[in-house]
Amino acid sequence: MTGPAGPPGPVPPGSYPPGQPDAGAMACARHPDRPTRLQCTRCGRPACPDCLREASVGYHCVDCVSGAARSARRGRTVAGASRVGKPVMVPILIAINVAVFALTVAAAGSVSDNYASALFARTSLTPILVVDGEWWRLLTSGFLHFGLLHLAFNMLAMWVIGRDVETVLGRWRLLAVYLVSLLGGSAAVMLFSSPTTQTAGASGAVFGLMGALAVLLYRLKMPAGQAIGVIVINIVISFAIPGISWTAHLGGLVIGAATTVALVYLPNRQRPAVQAAAVAGVAVVVLLAIGLSLTLVTS
């Protein structure tokens, strides 16, 4: 003797005999002309076999599959940044440096002697002029270059190193490291160079990206020997070749590494606010060093 029949169980897609009527069927939510006894195990709506996709549990309709794909969280890096594709901030920074170089060339009427332009003279870093109140030189000098070779070397290094750093840090964190490193290089020039020395170039910021890359490789437990070797070679070159500002290089390197440490080693809770506070803290230290240099230059 058999008991009363229970509710029909789930039927896999494509199991209905063609042309056979089914009194218990409902209309597919997406195709009202198609009767079906199937339903999405996620939202419960009736769905025909063409509208269902196999899932880990049952079958999901195409609408639920699409919604899940849109709402899925994007992967995050160790710095808390979304994983992005092509770098954006690095090309923008390179374009700015190239544009400023073009302006100095146009003003000077010469590619090789672009530093002879009045624009270059008003924006390059000379400590004694910063003491006189021309504070903008601390930042603008990082976008100037002495000739085409100087520009090409720095932009190539920025492109090679900056792309990897931007991939991990994200666009705005990379910009923060770049600008704070630039100021760090200027602060070192103010502290350790002659008050009348004229300095310019993105080298301080580029060395900051070198320091950032070394920190990121260590944080990700990846081989850092090659990156450290490049840094050491560039430091040696900074001391070996006359006319290169080793103070700006080392200042940018130290500040870039310190800023990146603050970005990737802080707790995950309330990370954006904590990171912003940490970067601001490093910037304050740099500004205090600049303030100390003003006192030393005038004494």
Gyration radius from the chain CA atoms: 30
CA distance 75 to 67: 17
Closest C-alpha to 43, from 31, 35, 34, 55: 55
Catalytic residue among 203, 238, 245, 293: 203
Determine how β-strand 59-61 pairs with β-strand 52-54. Answer: antiparallel
CA distance 176 to 173: 5
Which two structure tokens, joined as six digits, stand for 132?
A: 């006189």
Residue 203 designated active-site: yes
Long-range contacts of 48-53 (CB under 8 A, 24+ apart): 49/13, 49/14, 50/13, 52/13
Task: Answer yes or no: are the C-beta atoms of 148 and 155 closer than 8 Å.
Answer: no
Which two structure tokens, joined as six digits, stand for 194?
A: 């002659």
Largest distance between two CA atoms of the chain: 108
Long-range contacts of 27-35 (CB under 8 A, 24+ apart): 29/61, 29/63, 30/61, 30/62, 30/63
CA distance 208 to 175: 11
Catalytic residue among 60, 145, 150, 249: 249
Residue 249 designated active-site: yes
Could you list the active site residues?
203, 249
